Amino acid sequence: MSTSTGFTRYAPLGNAVATSQPAGPRSLMEVIRGLEGASTEMVERNKTIFFPGDPAERVYLIRRGAVRLSRVYESGEEITVALLRENSLFGVLSLLTGQRSDRFYHAVAFTRVEMVTAPATSVRNAIEADTAVGLRLLQGLSSRILQTETMIETLTHRDMSSRLVSFLLVLCRDFGVPDELGITIDLRLSHQAIAEAIGSTRVTITRLLGDLRQSGLVQIDRKKITVLDPIALAKRFS
Protein backbone atom coordinates (compact mmCIF):
# COMPACT_ATOMS: atom_id res chain seq x y z
CA MET A 1 0.00 0.00 0.00
CA SER A 2 1.29 3.49 -0.88
CA THR A 3 0.10 6.74 0.63
CA SER A 4 0.43 10.46 0.12
CA THR A 5 -1.45 13.37 1.60
CA GLY A 6 -5.14 12.55 1.33
CA PHE A 7 -4.53 9.68 -1.12
CA THR A 8 -4.24 5.96 -0.43
CA ARG A 9 -3.76 3.14 -2.93
CA TYR A 10 -4.30 -0.46 -1.87
CA ALA A 11 -2.75 -3.60 -3.30
CA PRO A 12 -3.93 -4.74 -6.74
CA LEU A 13 -7.33 -6.40 -6.81
CA GLY A 14 -6.66 -8.78 -9.66
CA ASN A 15 -3.83 -9.97 -11.87
CA ALA A 16 -5.56 -11.31 -14.95
CA VAL A 17 -6.98 -9.55 -17.97
CA ALA A 18 -10.65 -10.34 -18.66
CA THR A 19 -11.00 -13.40 -20.90
CA SER A 20 -13.41 -14.17 -23.70
CA GLN A 21 -15.30 -16.71 -21.51
CA PRO A 22 -16.96 -14.58 -18.79
CA ALA A 23 -18.92 -16.44 -16.12
CA GLY A 24 -21.98 -14.32 -16.92
CA PRO A 25 -23.06 -10.70 -17.20
CA ARG A 26 -20.76 -8.58 -15.05
CA SER A 27 -21.17 -5.09 -13.73
CA LEU A 28 -18.74 -2.36 -14.75
CA MET A 29 -17.30 -2.49 -11.22
CA GLU A 30 -16.61 -6.21 -11.56
CA VAL A 31 -14.99 -5.66 -14.94
CA ILE A 32 -12.59 -2.99 -13.68
CA ARG A 33 -11.78 -4.86 -10.46
CA GLY A 34 -10.82 -7.95 -12.45
CA LEU A 35 -8.26 -6.24 -14.68
CA GLU A 36 -4.51 -6.69 -14.41
CA GLY A 37 -3.04 -3.95 -12.21
CA ALA A 38 -6.40 -2.87 -10.76
CA SER A 39 -6.39 -1.35 -7.29
CA THR A 40 -8.63 0.43 -4.81
CA GLU A 41 -7.81 4.05 -4.01
CA MET A 42 -9.12 6.31 -1.25
CA VAL A 43 -8.98 10.08 -1.70
CA GLU A 44 -9.87 12.56 1.04
CA ARG A 45 -12.28 15.42 0.41
CA ASN A 46 -10.84 18.38 -1.55
CA LYS A 47 -7.75 16.40 -2.60
CA THR A 48 -6.74 16.27 -6.26
CA ILE A 49 -6.99 12.97 -8.10
CA PHE A 50 -5.21 14.30 -11.18
CA PHE A 51 -4.24 17.69 -12.58
CA PRO A 52 -4.49 18.97 -16.15
CA GLY A 53 -1.30 17.91 -17.90
CA ASP A 54 -0.81 14.72 -15.88
CA PRO A 55 -0.23 11.62 -18.02
CA ALA A 56 -3.46 9.73 -18.80
CA GLU A 57 -2.45 6.26 -17.68
CA ARG A 58 -5.34 4.93 -15.58
CA VAL A 59 -9.13 4.64 -15.77
CA TYR A 60 -11.23 5.37 -12.68
CA LEU A 61 -14.60 4.10 -11.44
CA ILE A 62 -16.20 5.64 -8.34
CA ARG A 63 -17.30 3.13 -5.74
CA ARG A 64 -18.35 5.65 -3.07
CA GLY A 65 -18.47 9.44 -2.95
CA ALA A 66 -18.49 12.23 -5.52
CA VAL A 67 -15.82 13.62 -7.85
CA ARG A 68 -15.77 17.09 -9.41
CA LEU A 69 -14.34 17.39 -12.94
CA SER A 70 -13.43 20.87 -14.13
CA ARG A 71 -11.58 22.69 -16.89
CA VAL A 72 -9.02 25.38 -16.11
CA TYR A 73 -8.79 28.09 -18.76
CA GLU A 74 -5.93 30.43 -19.64
CA SER A 75 -7.69 33.24 -17.79
CA GLY A 76 -7.36 31.19 -14.60
CA GLU A 77 -11.11 30.57 -14.43
CA GLU A 78 -12.07 27.04 -13.43
CA ILE A 79 -15.43 25.73 -14.64
CA THR A 80 -17.14 22.55 -13.43
CA VAL A 81 -18.03 20.18 -16.27
CA ALA A 82 -19.39 17.28 -14.21
CA LEU A 83 -20.13 16.21 -10.66
CA LEU A 84 -19.79 12.43 -10.75
CA ARG A 85 -21.57 10.00 -8.45
CA GLU A 86 -21.11 6.33 -7.55
CA ASN A 87 -20.49 3.97 -10.50
CA SER A 88 -19.33 6.86 -12.70
CA LEU A 89 -16.42 6.21 -15.05
CA PHE A 90 -13.78 8.86 -15.75
CA GLY A 91 -10.19 9.27 -16.88
CA VAL A 92 -10.90 7.61 -20.21
CA LEU A 93 -8.89 9.94 -22.47
CA SER A 94 -6.14 7.39 -23.07
CA LEU A 95 -8.72 4.89 -24.31
CA LEU A 96 -10.03 7.34 -26.88
CA THR A 97 -6.65 8.34 -28.31
CA GLY A 98 -4.99 4.92 -28.25
CA GLN A 99 -1.69 6.48 -27.21
CA ARG A 100 -0.10 8.38 -24.37
CA SER A 101 -2.00 11.59 -23.70
CA ASP A 102 -2.13 14.27 -21.05
CA ARG A 103 -5.15 15.04 -18.91
CA PHE A 104 -7.08 18.22 -19.69
CA TYR A 105 -9.49 17.95 -16.76
CA HIS A 106 -8.87 18.72 -13.12
CA ALA A 107 -10.35 15.91 -10.98
CA VAL A 108 -10.96 16.64 -7.29
CA ALA A 109 -12.64 14.56 -4.56
CA PHE A 110 -15.81 16.54 -3.82
CA THR A 111 -16.36 14.20 -0.86
CA ARG A 112 -14.21 11.41 0.55
CA VAL A 113 -13.97 9.03 -2.40
CA GLU A 114 -13.30 5.34 -2.83
CA MET A 115 -12.42 4.35 -6.39
CA VAL A 116 -11.41 1.26 -8.31
CA THR A 117 -8.76 2.07 -10.92
CA ALA A 118 -6.96 0.11 -13.62
CA PRO A 119 -4.18 0.83 -16.12
CA ALA A 120 -5.44 2.02 -19.48
CA THR A 121 -3.40 -0.70 -21.19
CA SER A 122 -5.26 -3.38 -19.22
CA VAL A 123 -8.60 -1.86 -20.18
CA ARG A 124 -7.68 -1.82 -23.88
CA ASN A 125 -6.50 -5.44 -23.71
CA ALA A 126 -9.76 -6.47 -22.04
CA ILE A 127 -11.83 -4.73 -24.74
CA GLU A 128 -9.89 -6.55 -27.46
CA ALA A 129 -10.40 -9.90 -25.68
CA ASP A 130 -14.09 -9.51 -24.90
CA THR A 131 -16.56 -7.27 -26.72
CA ALA A 132 -18.87 -7.39 -23.67
CA VAL A 133 -16.24 -5.42 -21.75
CA GLY A 134 -16.29 -2.73 -24.41
CA LEU A 135 -20.08 -2.55 -24.19
CA ARG A 136 -19.97 -2.10 -20.41
CA LEU A 137 -17.41 0.66 -20.76
CA LEU A 138 -19.45 2.35 -23.48
CA GLN A 139 -22.50 2.33 -21.21
CA GLY A 140 -20.45 3.88 -18.40
CA LEU A 141 -19.01 6.51 -20.72
CA SER A 142 -22.47 7.38 -22.07
CA SER A 143 -23.66 8.05 -18.52
CA ARG A 144 -20.65 10.33 -17.97
CA ILE A 145 -21.46 12.31 -21.11
CA LEU A 146 -25.04 12.86 -19.93
CA GLN A 147 -23.79 14.12 -16.56
CA THR A 148 -21.47 16.56 -18.33
CA GLU A 149 -24.26 17.84 -20.57
CA THR A 150 -26.49 18.39 -17.53
CA MET A 151 -23.81 20.42 -15.77
CA ILE A 152 -23.18 22.52 -18.87
CA GLU A 153 -26.92 23.27 -19.08
CA THR A 154 -26.84 24.34 -15.43
CA LEU A 155 -23.99 26.77 -16.04
CA THR A 156 -25.67 28.39 -19.05
CA HIS A 157 -28.00 30.28 -16.68
CA ARG A 158 -26.62 33.79 -16.41
CA ASP A 159 -28.80 34.62 -13.43
CA MET A 160 -27.06 33.15 -10.39
CA SER A 161 -30.35 32.33 -8.63
CA SER A 162 -31.44 30.17 -11.56
CA ARG A 163 -28.00 28.58 -11.75
CA LEU A 164 -28.11 27.65 -8.07
CA VAL A 165 -31.62 26.21 -8.33
CA SER A 166 -30.67 24.18 -11.40
CA PHE A 167 -27.62 22.85 -9.56
CA LEU A 168 -29.68 21.88 -6.51
CA LEU A 169 -32.14 20.01 -8.73
CA VAL A 170 -29.28 18.12 -10.38
CA LEU A 171 -27.97 17.17 -6.94
CA CYS A 172 -31.45 15.99 -5.94
CA ARG A 173 -31.53 13.73 -8.98
CA ASP A 174 -28.03 12.31 -8.58
CA PHE A 175 -27.51 12.36 -4.80
CA GLY A 176 -31.02 12.83 -3.40
CA VAL A 177 -32.54 10.63 -0.69
CA PRO A 178 -36.34 10.98 -0.24
CA ASP A 179 -37.48 11.45 3.36
CA GLU A 180 -40.45 12.82 5.26
CA LEU A 181 -39.39 16.42 4.58
CA GLY A 182 -38.64 16.20 0.87
CA ILE A 183 -35.39 15.18 -0.84
CA THR A 184 -32.16 15.44 1.15
CA ILE A 185 -28.95 15.79 -0.85
CA ASP A 186 -26.65 13.12 0.56
CA LEU A 187 -23.57 15.34 0.51
CA ARG A 188 -22.17 17.75 3.08
CA LEU A 189 -21.97 20.94 1.05
CA SER A 190 -20.25 24.07 2.25
CA HIS A 191 -21.28 27.37 0.69
CA GLN A 192 -17.75 27.67 -0.68
CA ALA A 193 -17.95 24.25 -2.38
CA ILE A 194 -21.24 25.19 -4.06
CA ALA A 195 -19.81 28.53 -5.15
CA GLU A 196 -16.78 26.88 -6.75
CA ALA A 197 -18.96 24.31 -8.51
CA ILE A 198 -21.18 26.87 -10.25
CA GLY A 199 -18.78 29.78 -10.68
CA SER A 200 -20.07 32.06 -7.95
CA THR A 201 -18.83 33.44 -4.63
CA ARG A 202 -19.44 32.20 -1.10
CA VAL A 203 -21.13 35.46 -0.13
CA THR A 204 -23.57 35.21 -3.03
CA ILE A 205 -24.39 31.55 -2.32
CA THR A 206 -24.97 32.30 1.35
CA ARG A 207 -27.42 35.05 0.44
CA LEU A 208 -29.28 33.00 -2.17
CA LEU A 209 -29.59 29.94 0.07
CA GLY A 210 -30.89 32.22 2.80
CA ASP A 211 -33.58 33.49 0.41
CA LEU A 212 -34.58 29.92 -0.49
CA ARG A 213 -34.76 28.95 3.15
CA GLN A 214 -36.91 31.97 4.04
CA SER A 215 -39.21 31.07 1.16
CA GLY A 216 -39.72 27.60 2.64
CA LEU A 217 -38.14 25.83 -0.33
CA VAL A 218 -35.04 24.38 1.34
CA GLN A 219 -33.83 23.41 4.77
CA ILE A 220 -30.18 23.24 5.78
CA ASP A 221 -28.87 21.21 8.71
CA ARG A 222 -25.14 20.74 9.30
CA LYS A 223 -24.24 21.33 5.63
CA LYS A 224 -26.91 18.91 4.38
CA ILE A 225 -29.51 20.54 2.15
CA THR A 226 -33.08 19.27 1.95
CA VAL A 227 -35.21 20.47 -0.95
CA LEU A 228 -38.68 20.53 0.57
CA ASP A 229 -40.61 20.69 -2.70
CA PRO A 230 -38.53 20.15 -5.87
CA ILE A 231 -41.48 20.88 -8.16
CA ALA A 232 -42.20 24.22 -6.47
CA LEU A 233 -38.51 25.06 -6.56
CA ALA A 234 -38.30 24.35 -10.29
CA LYS A 235 -41.46 26.29 -11.08
CA ARG A 236 -40.41 29.36 -9.16
CA PHE A 237 -37.30 29.84 -11.21
CA SER A 238 -38.40 28.36 -14.54
Q: Domain with 175 in it: what CATH number?
A: 1.10.10.10
Question: For the residues of 178-234, what is the DSSP string, one character each?
Answer: E-SSSEEESS---HHHHHHHHT--HHHHHHHHHHHHHTTSEEEETTEEEES-HHHHH
Instruction: Say yes or no: 26 and 133 in one domain.
Output: yes
pLDDT tens by residue, the chain, 238 residues: 544 456 566 555 544 444 444 445 578 888 899 899 999 999 998 899 999 888 888 999 999 999 998 887 777 777 788 888 888 888 887 676 555 567 888 999 988 999 999 998 898 888 888 888 888 888 777 777 777 777 777 777 778 998 999 899 989 988 999 999 999 999 888 898 899 888 889 999 999 999 999 999 999 998 899 999 999 998 876 6
Q: What is the pLDDT of residue 235?
A: 85
In which domain, by residue range, is 31 found? 2-144
Name the helix (H) or strand (E) containing 120.
Answer: helix 120-129
Question: For the residues of 13-64, what is the DSSP string, one character each?
Answer: S--S---SS-SS---HHHHHHTSTT-EEEEE-TT-EEE-TTSB--EEEEEEE
Q: What is the pLDDT of residue 225?
A: 95
Q: What is the pLDDT of residue 101?
A: 64
Given a contact cutoff of 8 angstroms between Cβ atoms, the answer to whether 24 and 84 are in contact is no
What is the 8-class DSSP label of residue 86?
A: T
Name the helix (H) or strand (E) containing 65.
Answer: none
- Give me the number of domains the chain comprises: 2
CATH label of the domain that carries residue 13: 2.60.120.10
Q: What is the pLDDT of residue 17?
A: 43
φ/ψ (deg, to 5) at 32: -65, -40
Given a contact cutoff of 8 angstroms between Cβ atoms, the answer to whether 75 and 150 are in contact is no
In the three-class reduction of DSSP (H, G, I as helix; E, B as strand; rest coil), residue 238 is classed as: coil
Can you tell me the distance from the alpha carbon of 204 to that of 161, in angstroms, rounded to the nearest whole number?
A: 9
Q: What is the pLDDT of residue 6?
A: 66
Q: 64 forms bridges with which residues in the sheet?
A: 114
Domain assignment present for residue 195? The answer is yes
Instruction: Say yes or no: 190 and 95 in one domain.
Output: no
Instruction: Say yes or no: 18 and 124 in one domain.
Output: yes
Q: What is the pLDDT of residue 205?
A: 96
Instruction: Say yes or no: 22 and 86 in one domain.
Output: yes
Instruction: Say yes or no: 175 and 121 in one domain.
Output: no
Letter for the amino acid at 232?
Answer: A
Given a contact cutoff of 8 angstroms between Cβ atoms, the answer to whether 202 and 195 are in contact is yes
Domain assignment present for residue 155? The answer is no
Letter for the amino acid at 62?
Answer: I
CA atoms within 13 A of residue 106's CA, in its CB half-sphere = 15
Q: What is the pLDDT of residue 149?
A: 75
